[in-house]
Amino acid sequence: MARGKGLGKTIVLLFLVVILILIGLMWFDYLGVVNAKKIFAPVYKLFGLVPQTSVSITNNDPVLMSNLEDDRIEKRLEALEIRAQELDKREEELKKLEEQNLQISQELDDLRKSQEEREKTFNNTVKKYDDREVNIVQNAKNLTGMPPESAVAILNAMEDQDVIDTLRKVEEIAQEEGTMSMVAYWLSLMPADRVATIQRKMVSKPKTLE
């Protein structure tokens, strides 16, 4: 009799344990800790309960992998954007440097043209002086070979500066050749006022290119 009572208690305890296990599973399933919704769906429906459907995402979850890949792509795009901005800034600096170089090149070109113009002007002046020097030499020789009256007539028709340069060249040629200069005699045949003007200019302006 006692043995039968003990067996009955054991069965009751086992039944209670099973019920507690089922209640525990149902509760954990409701909380989303375990997934036993298919087993307890009728019970949930009977009591009008909505179990927790969130599921922990593992490292191999496609959604998580997709999000990680999106993050990588976004970071790469940000890096590319920063790089593009740096390149744009460098391009702008290079453009400014190129403009400065062009400006310097233009200034140097203007200086070169100005220098060429000065050299051209100087060369023209030298050539003009050389040509005038040749003409003066030839004129001095021609006058020296003429009769004094004819030479004086030509001198009287010339500009004062031309007369001065010619007389100086006649004196120079005479000294080089060791001959007598005709300058003093020509001056004696010229009008006194013209002679005074010429001598005054010779003193105040010993030499000239004109």
How do residues 105-163 score in pLDDT, each as one tens digit?
A: 888 888 888 888 888 877 777 776 667 888 898 998 999 989 999 999 999 999 999 99
- Residue of 143, 141, 151, 134 whose CA lies nearest to 176: 141
- 83 occurs within a structural domain: no
pLDDT tens per residue across span 45-94? 665 655 555 444 444 556 666 777 888 888 888 889 898 899 989 999 99
Least confident of 1-15, 55-69, 178-192, 193-207: 55-69
- 103 occurs within a structural domain: no
Total tally of structural domains belonging to the chain: 2
- 173 occurs within a structural domain: yes
Is the entire prediction scored with pTM above 0.85?
Answer: no
- Domain hosting 175: range is 130-204
Burial (CB count <10 Å: 0-12, 13-18, 19+), residue 25: middle
Cα separation, 58 vs 63, in Å, equals: 10
Tell me the CA distances in angstroms from 33 to 29, 55, 60, 63, one per residue in order: 6, 8, 19, 20
- 90 occurs within a structural domain: no
pLDDT of 185 strictly over 90? yes
